[in-house]
Structure 1
Amino acid sequence: MSDRLSTLALCWLVERRDGVTLALCDHDRDLVVAGVTYRAAPGMTPSAIVRAEGLDADTMDARGALHAAAISARDLDAGRWDGARVAMSAVDWSDADAVPIALGEGTIGEVEVRDGAFSAELRGVAARLERAVTEATSPECRAELGNRRCRVAMAGRRRFARVVASEELAEGAGGEAMLLLDAAELSAGAYAEGRMRWLGGANGGLESAVLDSDGARVTLRAAPPFAVEAGVLIEVIEGCDKRIATCAGRFNNAVNFRGEPYLPGIDLLTRYPGA
C-alpha cells in the first residue's frame, strides 16, 4: 500500500504589494522548504494549471477557506491581495532535503468571496503580453508624476500628516470622503489628483486616490475600506492633472511632457463655428 501514498505537497509563496509575505502548503503540518516555513493550510485546493503552447496567458485558480490570521474577507474586499505575486511549487514532504519543483508563478487577478471561502485567479507571466505594445496619442500626459518618464523630483512633494476628522460625502460603497488633516498643503490644490498612503490604523498599507484638496482638507475619490480613526498617520503625495499648462507652469517640466496637446483630433471639424 505504501506505493500508493502520495508524498507531494503543494506550496504557495504569496507576496503582497505592501511587502507582506505569506507561505502556505496543502499538507496537514507546517513544512520548512529552503529556509521558508510554509504554514499548513489543507483547505487550499488548486485547479489544474493551464499551460498554453502559444502566446495565450497561463492561468489557474486557487480556492480555500478564509482564515482570520492569514487571508480574511476584509483584506480581500479591501484589495490588499490584488496584484500580489504568487510562486507555486511542489515538494516531497517525506524528504527533508528534497528540492522543490517549481510549477509556475504569476499574480493574483480576480478574487471572489462566497460562503466563507475564497477563489482567486492566478495569471501567469504570459498575461503581460496582453498589454498594448504601443501607446495611443492623447492631449494629456501618459506619465505618472515623479516616475522615470516624468522625471520631476518628488523630494518635498510628499508630506506626513495625521487625520483630525473624516466625513463620507456620499452614502454607500465607493462614495467620496473628506479628511481634515493637522497640516495644510504647501500650495493650493497641490494634492489634487495625487495619492494618500495609510501608514496606520485599520487601513494601514492601503492607498487612496485624492480627488481634490484645499488647505488642510483633502477629498478622496472613494472612502477607504475601513473606518478612519482620528490621529492615524498618513502620507500625502502631490498630484498632477496631466495638462501641458500645469506641466510647464507648475513643474517647469514641459520638455518631459508625455502627451500630444497640439495634435489635431477627430473633433477638429467641430471646434469652430460653421465648420
Structure 2
Amino acid sequence: MSFDAALSAHLQSGATTTCHAWAITRRDGLVMGFTDHDRDLSFGGVTFRADTGLSASALQQGTGLSVDNSEAIGALNDTALSEEDIEAGRFDGAEIVAWLVNWAAPEERQQVFRGTIGEMTRAAGAFRAELRGLSEVLNQPIGRVYRKPCGAVLGGAGCAVDLDQPGYRLEVEATEVTDLSTLRFPPLAGYAEGWFTHGRLEVRSGPAAGLMVPIKADRDTGEGREIELWTPLAASPGDGARYLLEAGCDKRFDTCGAKFDNILNYQGFPDIPGEDWLTVHPARSGGSGGGSRR
C-alpha cells in the first residue's frame, strides 16, 4: 500500500492520529525539521522536533496556475529559529516542504505543500513567515530588455565566465571591520584598484559565515584595500574571520573584453542607438548614423 493510500485508509477509520511536519532547507544546505506533534518524529532522514512551537495557518490551494500560499508562525528559539538568523537573512528563500503525517506510523504521510519562505516578520519573541508556493515564480516577469549593458549575471547562465579561474576570486582575512559596511584588507598584490567593484563579498568563517553582500567600491588606500558594501553585514563577523572577494563586472562591452576576455558571450547590445539618436531629425550628414562603434 502506498503512503497516500495508507494515510487515506487511516483518515477514513474515524479515529485519527495525525499531525503536521515541516522540513526547511536553507540556501547554505542546513536542513531543519519541525512538527506540531508533542513528540519528535523521524522519516526521510530528517528529525522533526516537537519543542519549537511551530504551526501553520490553513493552506490555500487552487487549481490551475493560481498561487498557493500559507503562513507559518512560531516562537523564536536559539536552538531552532533564532532572531539573529532571521535578521541575517539565513532563511530568505529557503525551501520548505510540509506533510500531513500519522504520528503513530510516520510512513503513512502525504505531502501537502512545497515552496519557499518569503517575507519573515518577528515581534515579542515570535516570528511569522510567509510561505510561497511553487507557482509563485510565474508572477515574475520574463523577457529580454534590449539595451547596451550586458544582461547576464557574472558567472551565471549566458555569461560563461568561470569564476574559479585564477584572478577572479580571492580569500583573505580583513585587518579591520569598521561599521559592518566598510572592511579593510592588506595590499592585494596583482589586483588593480576597483577590481572587486560591483563584485561580491562572502563571509567564509566566524559567526557570520555564509553571508553574502554586493560590493559598492574597491579603493586602494596606499596602506591596503578598502571594500565598501552596498548594505551592511547582517551579523558581526567577529575577529579573525576570512572573506571571499569576487571580481565585479560593470556590464560594459569594453570590460567584458579587457577584463574577462568574454566578448563572444556578451549579452548586451553595445551598438544599439541611444535615445538622442532616436529622436533626432533626419539629416544628410553622416553624424547621426547608428553604425558600429568598433
TM-score > 0.5, shorter chain as reference: yes
Identity across matched positions, percent: 32
Listed as ranges, the gaps of 5+ residues in structure 1 are 169-175
TM-fit CA distance, 1:270: 6.3
TM-score of the superposed pair, with normalisation by structure 2: 0.83
The residue that corresponds to 2:72 in the other structure is 62
Q: CA RMSD in A?
A: 2.3
Contact 2:193/2:219 (8 A) holds in 1: yes
1:131 paired with 2:131, answer: no
Listed as ranges, the gaps of 5+ residues in structure 2 are 1-12, 282-287, 289-294
1:163 paired with 2:179, answer: no
- Secondary structure of the residue that 2:183 maps to in structure 1? strand
The residue that corresponds to 2:21 in the other structure is 11
TM-fit CA distance, 1:263: 1.8
Contact 2:148/2:269 (8 A) holds in 1: yes
The residue that corresponds to 1:86 in the other structure is 96
Contact 1:163/1:229 (8 A) holds in 2: no
TM-fit CA distance, 1:4: 7.2
1:101 paired with 2:110, answer: yes
Amino acid at match of 1:245: D
1:43 paired with 2:53, answer: yes
Amino acid at match of 1:178: T
C-alpha distance in structure 2 between counterparts of 1:266 and 1:88, whole Å: 51
TM-fit CA distance, 1:41: 3.8
TM-score of the superposed pair, with normalisation by structure 1: 0.88
The residue that corresponds to 1:181 in the other structure is 185
Per-residue CA shift, 1:144-182, capped at 9, x if unaligned?
A: 1122311112211111100110223xxxxxxx8221123
Per-residue CA shift, 1:161-213, capped at 9, x if unaligned?
A: 00110223xxxxxxx82211235162221111111111122211111111111
C-alpha distance in structure 2 between counterparts of 1:267 and 1:43, whole Å: 60
Per-residue CA shift, 1:93-133, capped at 9, x if unaligned?
A: 1125x332111100111111122111111111111111223
The residue that corresponds to 2:9 in the other structure is none
Q: Report the count of equivalent residues.
A: 264
C-alpha distance in structure 2 between counterparts of 1:179 and 1:69, whole Å: 30
Equivalent residue in structure 1 for 2:160, among 151, 154, 159: 151
The residue that corresponds to 1:226 in the other structure is 235
C-alpha distance in structure 2 between counterparts of 1:108 and 1:262, whole Å: 41
Contact 2:206/2:240 (8 A) holds in 1: no
Moved more, 10-19 or 159-168: 159-168
Cα distance, 1:34–1:269 mapped onto 2, change above 3 Å? closer
- Secondary structure of the residue that 2:214 maps to in structure 1? strand
Runs of 4+ more than 4 Å apart: 3-6, 269-272
C-alpha distance in structure 1 between counterparts of 2:82 and 2:119, whole Å: 16
Equivalent residue in structure 2 for 1:205, among 190, 210, 214: 210
